[in-house]
Structure 1
Amino acid sequence: WCPPGVLGIGIGGSSEKAMLMAKESLMLPIDIHELVDRGARNKIEELRIELYNKINQLGIGAQGFGGLTTVLDVKIIDYPCHAASLPIALIPNCAATRHTHFILDGSGPAHFKIPNLNIWPQDVWSAQKEAKKVNLDTITKDLIREWREGDLLLLSGKLLTARDSAHKKIADLLEMDEKLPSEINLKNKFIYYVGPVNAVRDEVIGPAGPTTANRMDKFMRMMLKDLGILGTIGKAERGDDAIKLIKEYQSVYLSVVGGAAYLVSKAIKSSRVIAFPELGMEAMYEFEVKDMPVMVSVDTSGKSIYSEAPARWKNKSIPIELSSLKN
């Protein structure tokens, strides 16, 4: 999940009905500010306001980096059910709640109206002055020891990609004492957890957003001890065991903004498959990047922004006038 976003909750019915209601609730308009202004009129509205306030008081914030806004709204749909059963389904959704409906009847392809892109603002991005430029081709352990949790970096140079299937392939080959493909040399490299979309037209690569890093936690000892990587890049928090290994091997974990896959791809200047092409989008790639923005999320001392930042924000009590959001 890439907060801030919307929580959809289904209560009652059967387990399948609860999940469907949770999904359908995400299609409702965002109106929590109106609800807070006028006050709850029933138990469901009371629960919506209670969850909205309690979740935002956790200090998780955007991308988990700390802040006052973790959920934009909490949606709940309920349904009668047997007294012996009360299924509850919860779906966290990012800020982009989209839905389309079409029927494939065999008569031909489905056609959709192309939206007018002019109604959206232009994407303008420039590096922040405090961001540190990093050359991945000359990086050393001594340099990464200088980084601290929360530092902003701009990565340039070569990095390698690998996600679930590639990690499993590598683990299986090592377990069978077989050689890795000749192109896989992970010593002093950074691994980006990504399965990029195929390029179209003149693209170097398609959208290349990060996948959730903690699924790769079980491979961290292998990657750090046996293969000698310097660090990893992904999204969301790492588990306690992975953080201990990062500290033990003086590694780092860097975060990329989730939900911005197209924008991330603009920092990739060249791309080639180096191993496991049979895995499709989960093949291993070599990317040449230029000023790819990341944040140090776990530094060599084991400090994690996903625990440090929410703790800092949780103690802040900055009043927010929700009625001002109406306009």
Structure 2
Amino acid sequence: MTVIRQDDVIQSVADALQYISYYHPQDFVEAVHEAYQREESPAAKDAMAQILVNSRMSAMGHRPICQDTGIVTVFCKVGMNVSFEGDMSLTDMINEGVRRAYNHPDNVLRASVLSDPDGKRANTKDNTPAVIHYDIVPGGTVDFQVAAKGGGSEAKSKFAMLNPSDSVVDWVLEQVPKMGAGWCPPGMLGIGIGGTAEKAMLLAKESLMESIDIHELKARGAQTRSEELRLELFEKVNALGIGAQGLGGLTTVLDVKVYDTPTHAANKPVAIIPNCAATRHAHFVLDGSGPAHLEAPKLENWPEIAWGNDGKSKRVNLDSITPEEVQSWKSGDTLLLNGKLLTGRDAAHKRMVDMINRGEALPVDFTNRFIYYVGPVDPVGDEVVGPAGPTTATRMDKFTRTMLEKTGLIGMVGKAERGDTAIDAIRDSKAVYLMAVGGAAYLVSKAIRKSRVVAFEDLGMEAIYEFEVEDMPVTVAVDSSGVSVHKTGPKIWQAKIALKEEA
């Protein structure tokens, strides 16, 4: 009988979560670098350069790859010949590990988990509870797969109960464009097929714990139906031309994973769950000999990518910006932002719109200002702010018209595309939406020179901050005439890819 100490479980979970907050899996780094080297779209290539530079910086600085440090998911296989020494349940041990990891003083991770999800949505302050799946198996060890799943990619999960004769490939190719870029491609797609509705979703999530190996599969050839699906979907999803960050390009997915299981004769349950450019997962086994040890990767394993101002990006002074200058920008232009930038995301927007509807004055003057959709990580040491990458902009779409028409706001900065409701409001107000790269949060934070809370301090990371930025890189995603690069870019690259395949 193997005896596993309570403290070893807690420490191992905490160490693993700290580890994956700043170390990308090496297979992911290699896959992005390979995609970067062959990318032909300048915008997508620049986005992947930022992701790779950010990844190396995070590894060096031991700070989060992304400001959204995720909700913790654990797949735990418990051997039948194991006993635990301690007074906590295994679930409580795992959650205590999460608690310690997210409150680690040297690398504070953002607490994003809210209780009472359809009510008060109160932050639990320590990112607990984790979502834990158990399997009781033969043996004398406990096997852990630990992941930290970002909200932006999780929000793009899809499920359908197909008819038995329906095509999985056709359904996936219909769904991926609907997912937009809020899941921060390039990344992985996990596909679960069979079982029941909840089993298909679980299979899709578990498949994302696998390493990237699509090129090895291509080299040896498919041996099962699930492997045939992987190869077919990898080629056809990338042929959609969505590209890195949805800007249009050759690589949308780095790999496609497919797990399947038997199902009822009347059903074909199918689930898609994407993993983003902040893919974070680790595997370890406890055998009673002590806590797990995860070997730190060597920095030379990261490619040396030169990224910086190439002279093509226009410097913008946010402190003297005018509506006329904003209206001169065109979709696809690249800018470097300088000056004072306000922040605000879901909770702040809802509160402001409610105040406007009640005729109350806002605590901040937004006249000729820009707002950045971000919930930063708390700073440590001498940092001005922790990693501060953009959050998914579409969640603010329903507030956009009111904010533009009632506050004097002239621009927004966020992640991924905007929906038609927001695009119409942007065009009508002759405003602009700028896109920062999702998955490059530590890199973005280095452009922030000063930070202070200016309103709604009780909202924590969702408070309104004022950042003073220097050369913060962004792309004009929706210009004042309503042209969206997330609509034009993929169409252009889908056509180019089709021509290449015909040649």
Pair in the same fold by TM > 0.5:
yes
- Check the 8 A contact 1:12/1:18 in 2, yes or no: yes
Match of 2:474 in 1: 294
The reply to whether residue 280 of structure 1 matches residue 460 of structure 2 is yes
* Residue equivalent to 1:249: 429
The aligned counterpart of 1:138 is 320
Q: Which residue of 2 aligns with 1:115?
A: 296
Give the equivalent residue in structure 2 for 1:23. 205
2:263 corresponds, among 81, 87, 112, to 81
Q: Is the contact between residue 277 and residue 438 of structure 2 (CA under 8 Å) also seen in structure 1?
A: no
For the pair 1:177 / 2:177, whether they are aligned, the reply is no
**In terms of mean alpha carbon deviation, does 157-166 or 140-149 score higher?**
140-149
Deviation at 1:75, TM superposition (A): 0.4
How far residue 84 of structure 1 moved from its aligned partner, in angstroms, is 2.8
CA drift of 1:113 comes to: 5.1
Cα shift at 1:24: 1.6
Any idea what the Cα deviations from partners look like across 1:100-150, whole Å, max 9, x if unmatched? 3689xxxxxx88657356343567532121100000011111111211111
1:27–1:97 Cα contact (<8 Å) kept: no
Given the alignment of the two structures, is residue 217 of structure 1 paired with residue 397 of structure 2, yes or no? yes
Q: Distance in 1 between matches of 2:211 and 2:187?
A: 13
- What is the RMSD of the two structures over their aligned residues, measured on CA atoms? 2.1
Between 131-140 and 79-88, report the one with greater CA deviation: 79-88
Q: Which residue is equivalent to 2:310? A: 128
Task: Find 1:93's aligned residue among 275, 279, 282.
Answer: 275
Pairing 1:42-57 to 2, within 5 Å after superposition: 42-57=224-239
CA distance, structure 2, for counterparts of residue 137 and residue 31 of structure 1: 48
Q: Which amino acid aligns with 1:314?
A: Q
With 158-167 and 37-46 compared, the bigger mean Cα shift is at: 37-46
Q: Secondary structure at the match of 1:87?
A: strand
The aligned runs of 1:182-197 (5 Å cut-off) are 184-197=364-377
**Counterpart residue number, 2:410:** 230
Letter of the 1:76 partner, please give it: V
Cα deviation digits, residues 16-63 of structure 1 (max 9, x gap): 222221122112222222333343333222221221121111111011
What residue is the counterpart of 2:138 in the other structure?
A: none
Q: Does the aligned pair in 2 maintain the 1:5–1:95 contact within 8 Å?
A: yes
Give TM-score, length-normalised by structure 1: 0.90
Q: Deviations over 1:144-173 (max 9, x none)?
A: 121111111000000100000000111111
Matched, 1:264 2:444: yes
Q: Which residue of 1 aligns with 2:349?
A: 167
Q: CA deviation at 1:13?
A: 1.6
TM-score computed with the length of structure 2 as normaliser: 0.59
Alpha-carbon distance between aligned partners in 1 of 2:264 and 2:245, rounded to the nearest angstrom: 38
- Code of the residue aligned with 1:115 in structure 2: it is A
Residues 1:39 and 2:221 aligned together = yes
For 1:13 and 1:275, the matched residues in 2 are separated by: 49
What is the CA–CA distance in structure 2 between the aligned matches of 1:71 and 1:77, rounded to whole Å?
A: 17
Give the aligned residue type for 1:307: K
CA offset digits 1:180-213 (Å, max 9, x no partner): 22xx111110010000111100100001010000
Instruction: Give the aligned residue type for 2:238.
Output: N
Task: Please give the secondary structure, in 1, of the residue aligned with 2:437.
Answer: coil
1:78 aligned partner, one-letter code? D
Does residue 201 (structure 1) correspond to residue 378 (structure 2)? The answer is no
**Counterpart Cα distance in 1 of 2:303 and 2:485:** 30
Partners of 2:386 and 2:314 in 1: how far apart?
A: 26
1:71-123 deviation line (CA, Å, top 9, x unaligned): 111100000122233322211112443323689xxxxxx88657356343567
Does the 8 Å contact 2:353/2:403 carry over to 1?
Answer: no
How far apart, in 2, do the equivalents of 1:256 and 1:117 lie?
A: 28
The code of the aligned residue for 1:28 comes to E
Which of 13, 33, 36 is matched with 2:195 structurally? 13
Q: Within 1, Cα distance between the matches of 2:292 and 2:449?
A: 33
User: Comparing 42-51 with 283-292, which one deviates more in the overlay?
Assistant: 42-51
Q: Which runs of 5+ in 2 are unaligned?
A: 1-182, 286-290
Q: Does 1:308 align with 2:488?
A: yes
Q: Partner letter of residue 118 of structure 1? A: L
What secondary structure does 2:281 align onto? coil
Q: Is the 8 A contact 1:246 1:300 kept in 2?
A: yes
Is 1:158 the counterpart of 2:340 in the alignment? yes
Alpha-carbon separation, structure 2, partners of 1:226 and 1:126? 37
Paired positions, count: 313
Kindly indicate which of the two structures has a greater share of residues assigned to helix. Answer: 2
Q: What code does the residue aligned with 1:99 have?
A: H
Cα distance, 1:170–1:151 mapped onto 2, change above 3 Å: same
Percent identity, aligned pairs only, is 61
Q: In 1, Cα distance between the equivalents of 2:215 and 2:293?
A: 33
For residues 208 and 295 of structure 2, what CA distance do their matches in structure 1 show? 23
Q: Which residues of structure 1 form unaligned runs of 5+?
A: 104-109, 321-327
Distance 1:45 1:123, change over 3 A: closer
Partner Cα distance (2:483, 2:228) in 1:
37
